[in-house]
Structure 1
Amino acid sequence: MSKKETTPLYKKVIDDLKSMMDKGEFKKGDLLPSENELCKTYNTTRVTIRQALSDLTNMGYITRRHGKGSIVSEPKKGLGILSLHGVTAGVGDQTLITSILQKPVQQSWPSGFPYEISQEEQEAGCMFFTRLRIINDKPVLFEETYITNRNLPGFLALDLENRSLFKTLNDQYQVEIKEGEQQIWAIHGNKNISKLLDIKTNHPIVHMKRRLQTNVPELNIYSFVYCNTQEYFLQDYF
């Protein structure tokens, strides 16, 4: 059976409408066909069409106004940073610059660390650094990273500027991400975070805490990410 035959109809509606907007057949400010018209075009129900329009709204392609319909907006671009493949793999063909703000340093785990640290990790300590990820000349992600200081000789001397952390760990130490957990909130950025992301203080941002387990026992990666989603939305595929 082909992939096309197994694709849910609402996704086909999304793909078709996105394609027409990307090609300029529907421009910013244009009204999309009504729900009734789309039902007839795709020979389907309102439930299917509304699911497609809801997803397009979440992607930033359209806004929906009661009594008027679906209006084409300036679409945002997706960042696939929710997966365990990392930011570098999630930005696609967009231009990514990784700036190291705090170079890696060896230290003890900070007091009040939000994750439970094993006795082995406590004794090993951690390596801490911060990065600012700039996409298409706009600061989008600020990330604080803690890595268990275990079986990573020479890590502090590595140049991580414009390099993928996960690929570096794999190439240099054969460390691979096996599984993880992440928690996500919407918060108001404080003065320092807002300045780094070039947004107004207290503007809403996405905050994510991640704990990633590797193939090396008691070697974990912890990251605290602050994301400006004014021009991007977060996405992943399952």
Structure 2
Amino acid sequence: MTNTLNGTVALVTGASSGIGAATARALAARGASVALVARRKDRLDELAADIRADGGTALAIEADITDPAQARSAVEQAVASLGRLDTLVNNAGVMLLGPIEDAPVEEWDRMVAINVQGLLYTTHAALPHLLAAASAGPRDSADVVNVSSVAGRVARSGWGVYNLTKHGVGAFSESLRQEVAGRHVRVTLIEPGAVATELASHIRPEIRAAAQRAFSDLELLTAEDVAETIAFAVTRPARVVINEILLRPDTAA
């Protein structure tokens, strides 16, 4: 495989499992040094060891990005240890579905904190480094990749606050794109449909069963499918800006 990200550094949030872990592997395979950010340090250490065993460079950073100080520290640790920052993948997220009526509002707080505030804090901390890399880097560009969802396009009953967070990610991504486009920082919104990850395991059991039935006739996307899509977007020549990719399982509504 051609190492099209040689000399660059990527930071991936939510890297301890699923799409985040798969994305870290995909970017490392293409030559990027990868900072792995999540709360589960044991999983990060295991992933970092695997990447190193395959000849890559990886740094495990334990952080809760819903805390602005920890998000900022994670970015600074990555830059201090790996030398720069060219790619930010905002992947950390949680999906807690259920009716708005009588909902446990702590679930709402958790989704807003991780899906929105964590993404904002990490982007804010990373942006100066991304702008610097875009103006003096091996690729003449830098990338912000925000992992959203089909739920950022289509609202469904029982998905209200999750829909709200993912629509917000889309709006923020477009505004950021307009702000930094002239300075060679590319902003890409990735909107997967149903993916076979542990995301659904966080849903309350009675809600989870209904969600699983809704997708029971589909062959779900894999984390690797989404990771390869992200890798495709960030390895385009500097002249190519991919603003948005929607990917769904075959026959998905």
More helix by share: 2
TM bucket (normalised to shorter chain) is under 0.3
**Rg bigger for which structure?**
1
Quick one: higher RCO (CA 8 Å, sep 6+), 1 or 2?
Answer: 2
TM-score relative to the length of structure 2:
0.26
